Amino acid sequence: MTSKKLANRYRVVTTLLAFVLVLSMSTMLIQKATAQYTHYTTISGFNFIPQNRIIPRGSTGVWSNNDPVIHTLWFVRVSDRSTYLLSSPIIPGATWSNLFTEYVELEYYDLRRLWISGTLLVTIPGDVDGSRRVGIGDGGTISDHWTGPPTGLLPYHPNCDIDGDGRIGVSDGGIISDNWGQSW
Ligand SMILES: [Ca+2]
* pLDDT tens track for 20-64: 456 655 555 555 445 689 999 999 999 999 999 999 999 999 999
- Span from the CA of 25 to the centroid of ligand 1 (angstroms): 16
CA 8, CA 166: separation in Å to the nearest integer?
36
Quote the number of domains for the chain: 2
Are 22 and 68 in the same domain?
no
Q: Which parts of 103-169 fold into alpha helices (H)?
A: 136-144
Domain boundary, last residue among 102, 123, 144: 123
Share of the chain above pLDDT 90, in %: 79
Residue 85 lies in a domain: yes
pLDDT band at 159 (very low <50, low <70, confident <90, very high): very high
User: Which structural domain, as residue segments, surrounds residue 25?
Assistant: 3-33+124-178
Residue 142 lies in a domain: yes
Is the separation of the CB atoms in 124 and 179 below 8 Å?
Answer: yes
Residue 18 lies in a domain: yes
pLDDT band at 15 (very low <50, low <70, confident <90, very high): very low
Report the length, in residues, of the chain. 184
Provide the pLDDT for residue 149: 86
Question: How far is Cα of residue 63 from the mean position of the Cα atoms in its chain?
Answer: 15
Provide the pLDDT for residue 36: 86
The torsion angles phi and psi of 64, rounded to 5 degrees, stand at -110, 125
CA 92, CA 97: separation in Å to the nearest integer?
15
Residue 184 lies in a domain: no
- Span from the CA of 26 to the centroid of ligand 1 (angstroms): 12
Are 18 and 44 in the same domain?
no
